[in-house]
A and B are shown apart, each in its own frame.
Chain A
Amino acid sequence: MEASKIDRIVRQYGARESAILAILQDIQAEEKYLPRETLEYVSQKMRIPMVHVFRIATFYNALSLKPRGRHKIDVCLGTACHVRGGDKILDKLERDLGISVGETTKDKRFTLESVHCVGCCSLGPVAVIDGDVHGRLSQEKVPGLLKDFK
């Protein structure tokens, strides 16, 4: 990420230490992950030791150090989705995409992740693709779900 872009994000929060999480979230929203060089730049710019930036980046689920694909699939594994077979949906996606949860397909099309509840429990099992919630899934519906994503 270009330094000017990072500067703009940091400035928006007045470079306060308490804004570190929000700054990392904003960077990730643009880059889809947190590149090492970007974290090092943020650490210098905000005068927060790198160990603390790294600690925060690895503590919160919302942050990722690994590059992600063009589309992000989050399979909900909340309790309601679990009792309705959420893990089977995840299995099916792993098989169809040929990757394990947390990984990105070779063609960079999809990154597959799991989340603990997106709050759409009445529609379970649920998966979120690029922020859109898809409910009432079954293993059979999975191929149809993916076909519109390039």
Chain B
Amino acid sequence: MIIRTKNDLEKIREKGLKSLYPGATKISVGMATCGLSTGAGKVYEAIQKEIEKAKVRILLGQTGCIGFCQREPVVDILEPGKPRVFYQGVTSERSGELVQKWLENKVVEDLLFCKMEKEDRVLEGSVKNYSIQRIPAGINGTPHYHQVPFYSKQLKIALRNCGFINPDHIDEYIARGGYFSLYRALFEMKPEEIIGEVKRSGLRGRGGAGFPTGNKWDSCRKAKGDRKFILCNADEGDPGAYMDRSILEGDPHSVIEGMIIGAYAIGAQEGFIYVRDEYPLAIQKLKIAIRQAEEAGLLGENIFGSGFSLKINLFRGGGAFVCGESTALMASIEGKVGEPRAKHIHTTESGLWDKPSNLNNVETWNNIPVIVSRGADWYSKIGTQGSKGTKVFSIVGKVKNTGLIEVPMGATLREIVYDIGGGVPDGKKFKAVQTGGPSGGCIPESLIDMPVDYDQLTQVGSMMGSGGMIVMDESTCMVDIAKYFMNFLKSESCGKCTSCREGTKRMHEILTEITEGRGTTDHIDLLKELGWVTAEASLCQLGATAPNPVLSTLRYFQDEYEEHIINKRCPAKVCRALLRYRILSDVCKRCGKCIKVCPAGAITGKAKTKKESGKPFKIGTEKCTRCGMCFEACKFKAIEVE
């Protein structure tokens, strides 16, 4: 049906509510990429079979990611009159049990991870309480969703719908308040008022540098031109960050709604979503969502019957980090290579095909409907002085609870890494957090109580970037990390500017020398000088921020560099050329496993049998390639690295 009036929207909302809360038991499987790659597809099938077997009316659906990726696949069961329950680490073998027990009014206790009795409705500013009449046996000891340490400090605005709606159902999006902001924007607000609201909200771009969104919109609206474009950067390029993928897979309409509101405010008639080719599921979900919005009359010609029209095109990126740079992204859409150009005239005045163009990233667009609905006053109360609202972070690496989290700006690193992330696993010592992707830096333990916002991160030599947080422990080598990023950047630089192409290449070369034991004390100053020139002399932001991984590790971990250079030691035991593997003869059980796995034939000795005691095991240093296979394979921890 084509939605023309608010009444029409309300009708769809009613329909969506029936789909969200169907009056029968509903099982939802988290089927975003993280879930699928841990077997959510098989879990879905197994549950489906069990439901058929049980011959009871149980609805089965799919949803996006609820953020706790470590514990995927996640399944939730919602039955009227009962608390909603969430299971973690579900396997296809155990899926049947989930259904059987539920029908007996019981739960599978060892897989249960939380229960929920109320749901936050961010867009509407309300809470939906489930009416609880029956409590399944065995559920009492389970914490509430809001009590689980992973969730208790989170505030979900951007991730408001992820894991709670079926992304393929526009009705469910509308049922949770979706497209009401668009209605409000089109019929109750003037474009200038919307821009004013976005300005007052304090929203800053979530893609990297944190430019104030309202100001960008304002300059694009004021730019001369009868044809204007809005663009969505969904080319999430920072390795270690995947919030945009999760939003697109779990709540694609939130981005589309944000873009339509933005286009109306700016006066644009056409939009592009530049999405990473490596995200096939996100592309699929976006295609479905765009088609549904068009069919509903919420996108395309004469939206809501208001006379305003917008066409949104999907553009698959080609896999180039530099296309995160606005001018490169636009060149790419024009059918050229993604090479940035000088921006003495802003893209808001002359961007895509030299027309005024406004580019924001996925998370920025996704925040817009909330700001329109709840107002700038509400939004700007969240966060810090200079950074308003919440930020989604992917907390990954050497941390117990990996996943996607959303906290108010200003949450401290300690809260993120320890309270939410659960700290470093395996009893190891925390060393640093890397933020901001290849443009960012490593923040040491001494700054763990630092509140996280745009300005603080920049001040300590890193940056917000798109929100990747890679936790590093004592077994992460900071010189190796710097080398890793220079390797990334030297191949991802477009190669146009001498300073960026040659600068990153030479920094990588020097870091390789250091990690292979050929470093000299002059190298540290040379790295600093190269870093300076790369940042100062290059055209675009890729070059301007490229040395950050080197400069920030030099700033906080120069002792680690010196250990490599002077003592030819890698304290984290990562840099292979500086390692020696050794078998501890008193621990070794002479089982022979290491000989079997060693690809270089570097290990000598004879395995113990019932008759013979075997011969002592040794690793020949010349033949050893330090691949670490023996170390991984030894069950007795008889292999030492030094």
In the complex, is A directly touching B at CB under 8 Å?
Answer: yes
Partner-B contacts on A (CB < 8 A):
16-22, 25, 48, 52, 55-56, 59-63, 77-80, 82-85, 88, 91-92, 95, 115-124, 126, 131-135, 138-140
In the assembled complex, the CB of B318 is this many whole angstroms from the nearest CB of chain A, namely 3
Given known A-B contacts A119-B278, A133-B36, A80 and B318 have beta carbons under 8 A apart:
no
Do A120 and B242 touch (CB < 8 A)? yes
Contact with B394, one of A56, A62, A95, A122 (Cβ below 8 angstroms): A122
Given A21-B316, A122-B70, is A133 in contact with B633 using a C-beta cutoff of 8 Å? no
Q: Is the CB of A123 within 8 A of B34?
A: yes
- Are the CB atoms of B468 and A59 closer together than 8 Å? no
Contact (Cβ within 8 A) A116 B627: no
Q: Identify which of residues 14-40 in chain B touch chain A, using a CB-to-CB cut-off of 8 Å.
A: 33-34, 36-38
B335 contact set on A, CB distance < 8 A: 16-21, 48, 56
A49 CA / B19 CA spacing, docked (Å): 53
Set B315, B338, B599, B632: member contacting A140, Cβ < 8 A: B632
Listed by A's residue number, 16 A-B pairs whose Cβ atoms lie within 8 Å are A16-B335, A22-B315, A25-B318, A55-B337, A56-B335, A59-B320, A80-B240, A80-B470, A116-B321, A117-B239, A117-B241, A119-B245, A119-B278, A122-B396, A133-B37, A139-B627
Chain B residues with Cβ under 8 A from A91's Cβ?
A: 627
Q: Are A92 and B627 in contact (CB under 8 A)?
A: yes
Distance of B114 from chain A, by nearest CB (Å): 18
Shortest Cβ gap from A69 to chain B (Å) = 19
CB < 8 Å: which of B338, B396, B629 contacts A92?
B629
Q: Determine if A118 and B278 form an interchain contact, defined as CB atoms under 8 angstroms apart.
A: yes
Is B402 positioned at the interface, with any CB of A under 8 Å from its CB? Answer: yes
Is B434 in contact with chain A by the CB < 8 A criterion?
yes
| Inter-chain contacts of A83 with B (CB < 8 A) | 397-398, 470, 472, 476, 481
Which residue of chain B has the shortest Cβ distance to A79 in the bound complex? B240
Determine how close the nearest CB of chain A comes to the CB of B241; give it in whole angstroms.
8
Please tell me if B125 contacts chain A, counting CB pairs below 8 Å.
Answer: no
Closest residue of chain A to B246 (Cβ to Cβ) is A119
Contact A79 to B37, CB < 8 A, known contacts A59-B338, A61-B320: no
Q: Are B397 and A18 in contact (CB under 8 A)?
A: no
Evaluate contact between A122 and B403: CB separation under 8 angstroms. Answer: yes
Known A59-B338, A140-B633: A117·B316 in contact at CB below 8 Å: no
Per-position 1/0 for B251-294, Cβ under 8 A of A: 00000000000000000000000001111100000000000000
Residues of B within 8 A of A19 (CB): 335
B627 & A80 in contact (Cβ 8 Å cutoff):
no
Q: Give how many B residues have a beta carbon under 8 Å from the other chain's beta carbons.
A: 61
Contact of A61 among B279, B319, B336, B628 (CB under 8 A): B319
Question: Which 3 pairs across A and B sit closest by C-beta, in order of nearness?
Answer: A60-B318, A61-B319, A78-B239
Contact B627 A121 (CB under 8 A): no
Interface string of B428-459 (1 = CB under 8 A from A): 00000010010000000000000000000000
Question: Which chain B residues lie closer than 8 Å to A124 at the CB level?
Answer: 396-397
What is the chain A residue whose CB lies nearest that of B485? A79
With a CB–CB cut-off of 8 A, which chain B residues contact A138?
A: 632
Whether B320 lies near A135 (C-beta < 8 A) is no
Q: How far is the CA of A16 from the CA of B241 in the complex (A)?
A: 33
Interface check B354, CB cutoff 8 A: no
Contact in complex: B37, A134 (CB < 8 Å): yes
B394 with A120: CB separation less than 8 A: no
Residues A121 and B242 in contact, CB atoms below 8 Å apart: yes
> How distant is B225 from chain A, measured CB to nearest CB, in Å?
19
Interface core residue of B239, B315, B321 (most chain A CB under 10 Å)? B239
B6 to chain A, nearest CB (A): 37
Provide the residues of chain B in CB contact with A121, threshold 8 Å.
239-242, 394, 396-397, 402, 468, 470
CA of A116 to CA of B488, assembled, Å: 8
B358 interfacial by beta-carbon distance below 8 Å = no
A120, A126, A139: most-surrounded residue (chain B CB, <10 A):
A120
Q: Write the chain A residue with the least CB distance to B34.
A: A120
Q: What is the CA–CA distance of A25 and B402 in the complex, to the nearest angstrom?
A: 33
A80 and B397 contact, Cβ closer than 8 Å, known pairs A92-B629, A123-B69, A139-B632: yes
The closest CB in chain A to the CB of B334 belongs to: A18
Are B318 and A63 neighbours in the complex by a CB distance under 8 Å? yes
Interfacial chain B residues near A123, Cβ < 8 Å? 34, 37-38, 69, 72, 402
**In the complex, what residues of A have CB within 8 A of residue B316's CB?**
21-22, 25
Q: How far is the CA of A62 from the CA of B277 in the complex (A)?
A: 7
B120 beta carbon closer than 8 Å to chain A: no
The answer to the question of B384 belonging to the interface, with a C-beta cut-off of 8 Å to chain A, is: no
Q: Residues 331-360 of chain B: 1 if any A CB is under 8 Å from the residue's CB, otherwise 0? A: 011111110000000000000000000000
A79 with B278, Cβ < 8 A, contacts A117-B239, A122-B69, A139-B629 known: no
The answer on a CB contact under 8 Å between A62 and B318 is yes
Point out the residues of chain B lying under 8 angstroms from A61, CB to CB. 318-320
* Contact (Cβ within 8 A) B468 A79: yes
**Residue numbers in B under 8 Å from A92 (CB-CB):** 627, 629
- Chain B residues 463-509 with CB under 8 Å of chain A are 468, 470, 472, 476, 481, 484-485, 488, 492, 494
* A124 to chain B: closest residue by CB: B396
Q: Does B236 contact A (CB under 8 A)?
A: yes
Q: Which residues of A contact B317 (CB under 8 A)?
A: 60, 62
B residues 282-314 in Cβ contact with A at 8 Å: none
Contact assessment for B318 and A119 in the assembled complex, using a CB-CB cutoff below 8 Å: no
**Cα of A7 to Cα of B634 in the assembled complex, Å:** 58
Chain B residues near A17: list those with CB within 8 A.
334-335
Tell me if A119 and B242 are in contact (CB < 8 A): yes
Chain B hits for A84, CB < 8 A: 397-398
